[in-house]
């Protein structure tokens, strides 16, 4: 692949989510991110959201009415027992992901679990052990990995066109002081699990698991992380590379990312974790932007990850090649070490 061009080369796109087999989805939890899933997925794919479970009858009924969902269950137990539900999207706070994912798996349902997958790598291993025992599919809902710009960006990096990767940076800051759960240790609050997980997963996608982690940050008076800066180091083929990840729930940042190599760089427009564009600047050549004109302005959402679940379930697979269990465990392990260095401990750990 030549980067010495004023127009982008032909780059791969993810499979069309409208062509994936249809699953019947139940949504566990009726919060904001569940609403995004309920809105985007049926509108842009063959997937159907047929039920929602909420511990608040009024909240569940309002959610279902807003999104045209057929059935409302007054408990999570009722939702996972619904015979018309094939897969469950777990959209509760991080503190409850392990228990709710296990609840669904034990009921025979495939699961897509919001990121961060759990509070810790130990909890993630518990969930995946149940999925393996039950012969069911499980995946972390890291939607960024499935989006068109990420697929195209990874193709550029994998081609070797950037040369040796030297630095990966990712920044995710939002002013979220109005979101009470993020300041609650009992709900696994803090910037890292909500925002920094995107940074760490982006670095992992390109460089794999780090050999070293160095973290510094600022904690709230309740002991959760307000913001942090993390430097990751590597061995093997990336032994000279660094990744720098910053996250904050106290201030809004540009939310950009970059991949810098010896032969060029990629700058990803913010928010790097959502549907976006990037610019490739080759060493000694002219910069070009992706996406090409025919894709510009089109927005993408959670339908890509939901379609991946459907394809894998249809093929009898328990995990995705794009977001495999090993990646989830390695990202969770990295964040465990960040929390250890920052001194963030959740109740019960």
- pLDDT tens digits for range 307-337: 999 999 999 999 999 999 999 999 999 999 9
- The DSSP bridge pattern shows strands 257-261 and 165-173 to be antiparallel
Q: pLDDT value at position 30?
A: 95
Q: Report whether pLDDT(341) > 50.
A: yes
pLDDT at res. 291: 87
Query: What pLDDT is stored for residue 295 in this prediction?
Result: 63
pLDDT value at 207 more than 70: yes
Helix (H) or strand (E) holding 37: helix 32-44
Give the pLDDT score at 102. 98
pLDDT surpasses 80 at 9: no
Q: Is the pLDDT of residue 248 over 50?
A: yes
Q: Percent of the chain having pLDDT more than 70?
A: 95
Bridge partners, residue 232, by sequence:
213, 243
Q: Which of 57-61, 116-120, 132-136, 292-296 has the weakest average pLDDT?
A: 292-296
Distance in angstroms (rounded) separating the CA atoms of residues 111 and 102? 9
Q: What is the CA radius of gyration of the chain?
A: 20
Average pLDDT over residues 29-34: 95
What mean pLDDT is predicted for residues 150-159? 95
Percent of the chain with pLDDT over 90: 92
Q: Could you give the 3-state DSSP secondary structure of residue 55?
A: coil
Instruction: Please name every residue paired with 173 in a beta bridge, in sequence order, or none if there are none.
Output: 248
Check if 115 is active-site. Answer: yes
- What rounded mean pLDDT belongs to the chain? 95
Examine the pLDDT at 137 and tell me if it is beyond 80: yes
CB-neighbour burial class of residue 151 (10 A; exposed 0-12, middle 13-18, buried 19+):
middle
Separation between Cα atoms, residue 340 and residue 227, nearest integer Å: 14
Q: Which residues of 41-58 are buried (b: 16+ CB within 10 A; e: fewer)?
A: bbebbbbbbbbbbbeeee
Contact criterion met (CB below 8 Å) for 332 and 121: yes
Bridge-based pairing of strands 48-53 and 24-28 is parallel
So what's the pLDDT on residue 285? 86
Q: Is the pLDDT of residue 4 over 50?
A: no
Identify the CA nearest to 34 among candidates 101, 104, 114, 108.
114
pLDDT at residue 1 is higher than 60: no
- The residues with which 231 forms a beta bridge, in sequence order, are 214, 244
Catalytic residue, from 67, 115, 119, 204: name it: 115
Do residues 193 and 119 make contact, with C-beta atoms less than 8 angstroms apart?
yes
Q: What is the pLDDT at residue 296?
A: 61
CA dihedral 212, 113, 96, 103 (to 10 degrees): -130
Residue 298 pLDDT grade (very low, low, confident, very high; cuts 50, 70, 90): low
Helix (H) or strand (E) holding 341: helix 325-342
Residue 3's pLDDT band (cuts 50, 70, 90): low
Which pLDDT band holds residue 222 (cuts at 50, 70, 90)?
Answer: very high
Q: Both tokens of residue 82?
A: 């619904």
């Amino acid at each position: 692949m030549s980067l010495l061009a004023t127009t982008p080369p032909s780059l791969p796109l993810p499979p069309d989510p409208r062509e994936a087999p249809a699953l019947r989805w139940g949504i566990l939890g009726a919060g904001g991110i569940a609403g995004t899933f309920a809105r985007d997925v049926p509108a842009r794919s063959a997937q159907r959201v047929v039920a929602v479970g909420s511990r608040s009858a009024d909240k569940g009924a309002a959610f279902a009415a807003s999104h045209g969902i057929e059935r409302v269950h007054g408990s999570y137990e009722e939702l996972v027992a619904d015979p018309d539900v094939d897969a469950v999207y777990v959209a509760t706070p991080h503190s409850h992901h392990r228990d709710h994912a296990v609840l669904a798996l034990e009921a025979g349902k495939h699961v897509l679990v919001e990121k961060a997958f759990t509070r810790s790598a130990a909890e993630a291993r518990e969930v995946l052990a149940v999925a393996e025992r039950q012969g069911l599919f499980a995946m972390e809902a890291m939607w960024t990995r499935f989006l068109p710009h990420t697929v195209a960006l990874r193709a550029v990096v994998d081609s070797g066109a950037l040369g040796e990767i030297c630095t990966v940076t990712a920044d995710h800051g939002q002013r979220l002081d109005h979101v009470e759960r993020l300041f609650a240790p009992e709900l696994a609050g803090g910037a890292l699990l909500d925002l920094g997980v995107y940074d760490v997963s982006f670095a992992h996608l390109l460089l794999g698991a780090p050999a070293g982690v160095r973290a510094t940050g600022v904690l709230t008076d309740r002991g959760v992380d307000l913001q942090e800066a993390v430097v990751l180091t590597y061995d093997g083929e990336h032994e000279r590379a660094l990744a720098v990840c910053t996250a904050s729930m106290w201030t809004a940042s540009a939310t950009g990312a970059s991949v810098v190599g010896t032969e060029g760089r990629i700058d990803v427009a913010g928010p790097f974790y959502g549907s976006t564009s990037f610019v490739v600047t080759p060493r000694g050549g002219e910069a070009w932007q992706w996406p090409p004109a025919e894709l510009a302005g089109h927005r993408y959402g959670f339908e890509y990850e939901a379609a991946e679940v459907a394809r894998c379930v249809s093929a009898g697979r328990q995990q995705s090649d794009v977001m495999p269990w090993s990646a989830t465990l390695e990202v969770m392990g990295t964040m465990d070490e960040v929390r250890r260095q920052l001194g963030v401990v959740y109740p019960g750990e």
